[in-house]
Amino acid sequence: MLAAATLLLASAALPLQAAAPPLQHRIAVALTPSSGEIRIDDNLVVTGRERYRFRLASWLVIEKLAIDGMRAEAQRQGHDYVLALPDAGRHRLDFVLRGVVPPRGAGQRPASARSSSGEDGAYLPAYDSWIPQPTAESMSYRLQVKVPVAQRAVATGKLIDEDSDAEFYQAVFEATRPTEAPSLFAGPYQIREQRSNGLRLRSYFHRELAPLSEIYLAAAAAYIQRYDRAVGAYPYADFHIISAPLPVGLGFPNLTYVGRQVLPLPFMRGRSLAHEVLHNWWGNGVRVDYATGNWSEGLTTYMADYALAAEQGADVARGMRIKWLRDYAALPSERDQPVRSFISKQHQAAQVIGYNKVAFIFHMLRLEIGGLEFEQGLRHFWQQNKFKTAGWGELQQAFEHSAGRGLDWFFRQWLDRSGAPRLSIGAHRVDRLADGFRTSVEILQPVSGYRFKLPLLLQTANGIERHEISISENLTRVEWVTSAQPRSLHFDPDSDVFRLLQPNEAPPILRDVTLNAKTVSVVGSADAEFNGVARDLAARLMDVAPRFEQLQLSRGIEHPLMLITGSADLAAQLSRLGLRQPPELSDSAWSAAAWTARLANGNPVLIISADDAAALQSLQRPLPHYGGQSYILFAAAGRAVDKGIWPIERGPLYVDLSGA
């Protein structure tokens, strides 16, 4: 859960190539992670441009700059520097940069993980502009890095040389194909290495993690082989897993950077590692044309996280699809957006679209064109686009190629529109015939224009028949003749269609309240300390800034509500809302709990109850990770002891025919 919330692809945006030939940098870095001191020498040759425009991290200064050996100066322009060149011919640029990589602060949040340094390691991501490179251009490079001998350094690119003496460790990395700028990592690492099919796999782990190296390297080798077969040959020479002092999970070309607190958790070497390995194909091997939307997170989620869930069983895969649909149902319509507008995960709301909805779309595409065609389409997309930038258009072409037919309608309806189909069942009847039964039913689609296949189960006295119908109109009438008495119809029994669940199909989860900008937060305690902790907690939970009001609790409240209260006051406040404590909470001991309910008017309520301010405080870290649950109970120190989603009755797409 933690990983799902923190994993993102740390790839810099690389739009279409500029006309000038790709830049080749020769970089030498001397870095002292403990103090953050850094010196960067960067040499490159430019041709065909009259100005060289680049961005530089604010903690770096240009100590020396020469054009063809002659001293020069770059002018600041907003966030960028501009260096005027004598003419558009061939020129050699030599930079010497110095600075102090900022020390790691306590409050750094994963999404804003910037360059940082400390005793336990240094982090210099490409997107932080630590070398003078135009932000929108790709480049090739040779990077030599030197650190004190107690440290090890590693960068994106192929490791081509390393050695150490009494004072220093140094290593050389090379990227010969145009790619994003290098990202650099250093720390007091222990290196373990394994070879697999000609690849070099390494772990750069902090000391306490060394015992996990073998497991990680074996798991990474297995995932690489898996995607080799599914997609095409792994596009790099190396793969590294690097332990991060920060609570992150980031994918870079040929490596992944994962929090040292996260690495011991079992899910990390499962779905999360698979996800990061697969980003070497989707996102790094084929770079994302961000101008047309980000397809890579959804495709990676589908082929890694979802595919591994599916291997555990059809019910596990179905559970993941239902969770995606529930999360989508919890998204207020004004926060919905078309898939094509998803760029990166800034909010939970963006994850619901860019990861989950997109993964669901690939699930439906596979059902639409067939499993073999889907797999051929993926391989074709890889062959056509590796080491290039590609968008949704190239994906569509690849699947049209493998399916042998146009799929424009499919991609348009799922990518260009926000929203989702809604389905309900209209009139239905069973007629007795001379030699059997005729079942007729109407399927209604109030939102026009969605076209999809709708699976269904028809249960008769003889057993269950599986059918599939095509939906494209607002009203679809179907009928079946069976020899045995029909008993029930169940449409979309396995949740294979991305659609808006109806309220009684979607039991309330925390996100119904925390994603809704209309939510009002109420702290039901007069205690000042409790109040302060409650306000912090509300700010962490809400996807937008929380709105606090001192309103009178009643059963008629006209908006979603978050109530944070002391356990002693709980019963009285629940009764004002017309709610009762659910039985799940009575059965076990807890010091803090969060659960959802619906008021009689349908508005969702999130109730957070704690014995005291300390118990409430212990929820600050864990509770935001349980947005997909209906209830969670915590014992001391924020340890979750029970959680779940309220059960659903048979939904509105189930039709009982026994009395028809």
**What letter represents residue 585's amino acid?**
L
Minimum separation from the CB atom of position 351 to Zn ion (A): 10
Q: By three-state DSSP, how is residue 352 classified?
A: helix
Minimum separation from the CB atom of position 272 to Zn ion (A): 9
Residues in the chain: 660
**What letter represents residue 572's amino acid?**
A
Minimum separation from the CB atom of position 279 to Zn ion (A): 6
What are the residues whose beta carbons fall under 8 Å from the beta carbon of 588, sequence distance 6 or more?
633, 641, 642
Which of these segments, 5-13, 443-451, 502-510, 563-571, binds Zn ion (CB under 5 A)?
A: 5-13
Q: Which of 20, 38, 236 is nearest to 128 (CA)?
A: 38
Residues 180-209 close enough to bind Zn ion by CB under 5 A: none
Give whichever of 238 and 297 is closer to Zn ion, judged by the CB atom.
297
What is the rounded end-to-end Cα distance, in angstroms, of the chain? 45
Contact code string over 68-107 relative to Zn ion, x by CB under 5 A: ----------------------------------------
In the set 2, 3, 4, 9, which binds Zn ion (CB under 5 A)?
9
Q: How many CB atoms are closer than 10 A to CB 552?
A: 8
- Looking at beta carbons, which residue is closest to Zn ion? 9
Give whichever of 9 and 317 is closer to Zn ion, judged by the CB atom.
9
Give whichever of 5 and 469 is closer to Zn ion, judged by the CB atom.
5
What does the angle CA 646 – CA 546 – CA 618 come to, to the nearest 5 degrees?
A: 65
Minimum separation from the CB atom of position 308 to Zn ion (A): 14
Give whichever of 46 and 250 is closer to Zn ion, judged by the CB atom.
250
The label of the residue with tokens 């059918």 reads 467
Residues 295-354 close enough to bind Zn ion by CB under 5 A: 297
Element (H, E) at 84: strand 80-84
Minimum separation from the CB atom of position 234 to Zn ion (A): 17
**What letter represents residue 541's amino acid?**
L
Minimum separation from the CB atom of position 247 to Zn ion (A): 16
Q: Which of 182, 177, 176 is nearest to 145 (CA)?
A: 182
Which of these segments, 35-43, 166-174, 290-298, 418-426, binds Zn ion (CB under 5 A)?
A: 290-298
Structure-block tokens of residue 571: 């019963």
Q: By three-state DSSP, how is residue 330 classified?
A: coil
Site membership for Zn ion, residue 557 (CB under 5 A): no
The distance of Cα 19 from the centroid of its chain, to the nearest Å, equals 33
Minimum separation from the CB atom of position 354 to Zn ion (A): 10
Minimum separation from the CB atom of position 304 to Zn ion (A): 8
Answer whether 509's CB lies under 8 Å from 533's CB. Answer: no
Give whichever of 235 and 638 is closer to Zn ion, judged by the CB atom.
235
Question: Could you give phi then psi for residue 555, rounded to 5 degrees?
Answer: -75, -10
Q: What distance in Å separates the CA atoms of residue 501 and residue 648, rounded to the nearest whole number?
A: 12
Which of these segments, 58-66, 198-206, 294-302, 370-378, binds Zn ion (CB under 5 A)?
A: 294-302
Minimum separation from the CB atom of position 3 to Zn ion (A): 10
Minimum separation from the CB atom of position 9 to Zn ion (A): 5
Answer whether 263's CB lies under 8 Å from 284's CB. Answer: no
Give whichever of 297 and 394 is closer to Zn ion, judged by the CB atom.
297
Which of these segments, 2-10, 167-175, 405-413, 454-462, binds Zn ion (CB under 5 A)?
A: 2-10
Minimum separation from the CB atom of position 378 to Zn ion (A): 17
β pairing state of 199-205 and 190-196: antiparallel
Q: Taking the C-alpha atoms of 555, 557, 560 and 562 in order, what is their torsion angle to the nearest 10 degrees?
A: -70
Which of these segments, 3-11, 47-55, 474-482, 499-507, binds Zn ion (CB under 5 A)?
A: 3-11
Give whichever of 9 and 154 is closer to Zn ion, judged by the CB atom.
9
Query: How many chain residues interact with Zn ion (CB under 5 A)?
Result: 2
Minimum separation from the CB atom of position 43 to Zn ion (A): 34
Give whichever of 132 and 283 is closer to Zn ion, judged by the CB atom.
283
Q: What distance in Å separates the CA atoms of residue 289 and residue 400, rounded to the nearest whole number?
A: 19
Give whichever of 9 and 458 is closer to Zn ion, judged by the CB atom.
9
Give whichever of 9 and 224 is closer to Zn ion, judged by the CB atom.
9
Minimum separation from the CB atom of position 297 to Zn ion (A): 5
The number of C-alpha atoms within 13 Å of 399 and in the hemisphere containing its C-beta is: 21
Minimum separation from the CB atom of position 115 to Zn ion (A): 21
Q: How many CB atoms are closer than 10 A to CB 334?
A: 10
Which of these segments, 7-15, 365-373, 495-503, 651-659, binds Zn ion (CB under 5 A)?
A: 7-15
Give whichever of 110 and 493 is closer to Zn ion, judged by the CB atom.
110
The label of the residue with tokens 């690489």 reads 224
Give whichever of 9 and 523 is closer to Zn ion, judged by the CB atom.
9
CA–CA distance from 389 to each of 54, 109, 342, 395, 509 (Å)?
21, 29, 17, 11, 38
Q: Which of 106, 184, 103, 112 is nearest to 141 (CA)?
A: 184
Q: What distance in Å separates the CA atoms of residue 654 and residue 443, rounded to the nearest whole number?
A: 12
Give whichever of 9 and 231 is closer to Zn ion, judged by the CB atom.
9
Give whichever of 240 and 345 is closer to Zn ion, judged by the CB atom.
345
Site membership for Zn ion, residue 250 (CB under 5 A): no
Which of these segments, 1-9, 29-37, 382-390, 639-647, binds Zn ion (CB under 5 A)?
A: 1-9
Give whichever of 223 and 452 is closer to Zn ion, judged by the CB atom.
223
Q: What distance in Å separates the CA atoms of residue 67 and residue 85, rounded to the nearest whole number?
A: 8
Q: Which of 400, 356, 359, 408 is nearest to 376 (CA)?
A: 400
Q: What distance in Å separates the CA atoms of residue 469 and residue 478, rounded to the nearest whole number?
A: 8
Which of these segments, 289-297, 453-461, 575-583, 626-634, binds Zn ion (CB under 5 A)?
A: 289-297
Helical spans, DSSP H, in 263-313: 271-278, 296-300, 307-311
CA–CA distance from 106 to each of 103, 110, 184 (Å)?
10, 12, 21
Give whichever of 9 and 199 is closer to Zn ion, judged by the CB atom.
9
Minimum separation from the CB atom of position 251 to Zn ion (A): 6
Give whichever of 257 and 410 is closer to Zn ion, judged by the CB atom.
257
What are the residues whose beta carbons fall under 8 Å from the beta carbon of 288, sequence distance 6 or more?
11, 294, 295, 296, 389, 390, 391
DSSP 617: H
Minimum separation from the CB atom of position 355 to Zn ion (A): 7
Which of these segments, 172-180, 292-300, 389-397, 547-555, binds Zn ion (CB under 5 A)?
A: 292-300
Q: What distance in Å separates the CA atoms of residue 108 and residue 245, rounded to the nearest whole number?
A: 11
Q: How many CB atoms are closer than 10 A to CB 169?
A: 20
Minimum separation from the CB atom of position 576 to Zn ion (A): 44
Interface residues with Zn ion (CB under 5 A)?
A: 9, 297
